[in-house]
Structure 1
Amino acid sequence: MVRFHVDTWDPAYGSSVDAAETASSTARIDPEVEVPASRWAPIPATAVPRPAAILFVDGIRRVDARVWIEEPLLDPDTGEVLGTQTGMGLCASYGSGVVCSCQRGAHLLSALTRRGLFTTVAGAEDVTTTAGTYRAHHTGDRGEENPALLLSGALQQHLTDLEIIAAAEARNGLRDHDVEDSLVVVDGPLRGRTSLADTIGYIKSHRTTYLPPALHAVIARLGAGERTPIFAMGTSWDRLSWYLRLPSADGAPWVGVVRVECAAELDPQAAVRLANLSQAVLPRYASTEYKDHR
């Protein structure tokens, strides 16, 4: 019989067995996708037709409880119960939604929610509560990898999958909108979502310096609506990226700067089209500073 014990720490504080921060990997950079590195300079916005519909995709995850799961430890030869073994689990709620901005105004096109139990314990089963059922998802143990990081990654992958489903559902919902084209804007990196057509990732937080110093300095020189040239970036996955400054009051060199991504498989001309579209579209939807200073 499998037994569950809820960790008494508030999930907002992490686990009582806390996960160490992982060091950022060094990205492979090719700055010459659009122009030679010697010609890097701010690129002003150009007059391009805006898509008839903009789909904004976002997701959210919440760890409701961290649990410890006990299951019998069996002798592999005799099947005799030798004792118990314990594994970690996350009970989490996660969801994704898509808002469409078109001639009808802003409206919700898709909203999906899920609950899951993420664990390395093979015998774990669904957990039913008064709030709903947490579906069991088993993740293979990877030896020395921190289990908290492993399970958090599994949760994030399920959230990414749900965002893809929500985006596809929203695109299907556009059929009765009488629109010829659309642009999908995903909040955060595009990892795992590069298969979505005409899609860009929108990253507001900056924790890593990717470009060499001479090119990195171009970012601080961006004016409102201007972007850097496109560069290719490879870490554990490949993508094309550029920096864009949204309208903002004068302040720190990086105020209003976001990083935008698109699929690495696109040819340079298609990537430039999306980069130019991002200049035409994203500044229009920038938040006011008292709501979000980024």
Structure 2
Amino acid sequence: MTITVPMTYSVEAWDPSYGTTFATEEQDGLAGSEAELEVDIEVPADRWRAVSPRPGVKHPQTVLFVDGVRRVDARIWISQPEELDGGDGLDDGAALGLCASYASGVTLCQHTAAGNTARVVGSQIRRGLFTTAVTASTIDAPGGNYQAHITDADPATPLPQLLSAELQQRLADLEVVTAVAARDQLDPSQQEGDLLVVDGPLRGRQHLPRTLGYIKTHHSRYLEVEQNRLVAQLEPGQRTPVFRMGTNWKRFSWYLRLPYREGAPWAGIVRVECSADLAVTEAVELAYLSQAVLVRYASSEIKDPRAPQNLYPIAGLEKELRRRLGNPQILHRSLRTRRPR
């Protein structure tokens, strides 16, 4: 039986860019990982050494960079009848909802005899209301509607974290759609030998051909002490040997050092992933290709505070996508006056 109850809500006045008015517990530091690890994929574990770029590796004519951005435009409190209150909000029966805008896009970089070009070739924008409130419904707002996405409450997961994860999953799904659409628009000559670089882990996108996951923020330590020590010793352009890791999903991975100024031991270090469905030789070839491609796009600290990890095509794409999300102040004000369908 479907219960239809009109949705009423109030918008929290606190600027969402400062987070919510209640705190969530966070852990700092680089924690060890419980992922299964195989380090003797490319070379035996006791022969690990820095791998220098391979001479003669041909840079692809076409490289696509896909990225997404997300923004919480407002946090709202959705009133729920007492009999529908699942304990996922306030004691007075109001459930938290996130009104968010998110977008995905692709930067196409081409290298030809006539010169090098880079341009945004596709983008898609969505707005959504993420909540556990069963009374939630779509909210009309200028520039688009906040489509209601209702998820089940999980007592083991803090509500803001649960809703944020649902938003992130929707964004990841949109990135796949955008990347496939951008590739489909290429001429056959451009598609052959192209490379797709996804900003972030490859999870959920490992089925895409000729694709690398690009991770510039490190939350866990995956390697054992001896192999992990090598990461800090890498010179610009060098990488670790390829290793395989995974828990409920597997992937090949390696660490790569981008050009950087001397600083912290892991300055300029990124981790790169590719699908575990590939043969080992194919993964190694992609690792060498990443050294030829990613180093070329490393940003400068003069232009980007997240240099060198925030690659130029990704940084430019993020800036353009955030512009296309619309004015957050206008959207926040409109949510205070609009009503759900």
TM over 0.5: yes
Q: How does 1:65-76 map to 2 (within 5 A)?
A: 65-74=74-83
**Superposition RMSD in Å:** 2.0
- Partner letter of residue 219 of structure 1? V
Cα distance between partner residues in 1 of 2:224 and 2:284: 21
Query: What percent of counterpart residues are identical?
Result: 47
Q: Give the aligned partner of residue 282 of structure 2.
A: 270
Cα distance between partner residues in 1 of 2:73 and 2:130: 12
Q: Give the aligned partner of residue 12 of structure 1.
A: 17
Structure 2 counterpart of 1:219, from 231, 235, 256: 231
* Shift, 1:178, TM fit: 4.3
- Partner letter of residue 63 of structure 2? I
Cα distance between partner residues in 1 of 2:190 and 2:252: 31
Cα distance between partner residues in 2 of 1:222 and 1:17: 42
Q: Deviations over 1:21-49 (max 9, x none)?
A: 26855322211121111010000111222
- Partner letter of residue 16 of structure 1? T
Unaligned runs of 5+ in 2: 1-5, 85-91, 309-341
Q: Deviations over 1:92-142 (max 9, x none)?
A: 000011011113611121111100001111221001123431000111112
- Of Structure 1 and Structure 2, the greater helix share is in 2
Q: Deviations over 1:144-202 (max 9, x none)?
A: 42111110000000000010011001101112764522100011111211111111011
Structure 2 counterpart of 1:174, from 181, 186, 189: 186
Does the 8 Å contact 2:99/2:130 carry over to 1? yes
Q: Give the aligned partner of residue 66 of structure 2.
A: 57
Does the 8 Å contact 1:109/1:173 carry over to 2? no
Structure 1 counterpart of 2:26, from 16, 21, 25: 21
| 1:142 and 2:154 are equivalent in the alignment | yes
Q: Give the aligned partner of residue 241 of structure 1.
A: 253
| 1:89 and 2:94 are equivalent in the alignment | no
Stretch moving more, 101-110 or 281-290 = 101-110
* TM-score between the two structures when normalised by the length of structure 2: 0.79
Structure 1 counterpart of 2:7, from 2, 5, 9: 2
* Shift, 1:19, TM fit: 2.6
Cα distance between partner residues in 1 of 2:290 and 2:300: 18
Q: Give the aligned partner of residue 332 of structure 2.
A: none
Q: Secondary structure at the match of 1:174?
A: coil
Cα distance between partner residues in 1 of 2:64 and 2:137: 36
Does the 8 Å contact 1:222/1:245 carry over to 2? yes
Stretch moving more, 281-290 or 141-150 = 141-150
Does the 8 Å contact 1:52/1:179 carry over to 2? no
Q: Give the aligned partner of residue 164 of structure 2.
A: 152
* TM-score between the two structures when normalised by the length of structure 1: 0.91
- Of Structure 1 and Structure 2, the greater strand share is in 1
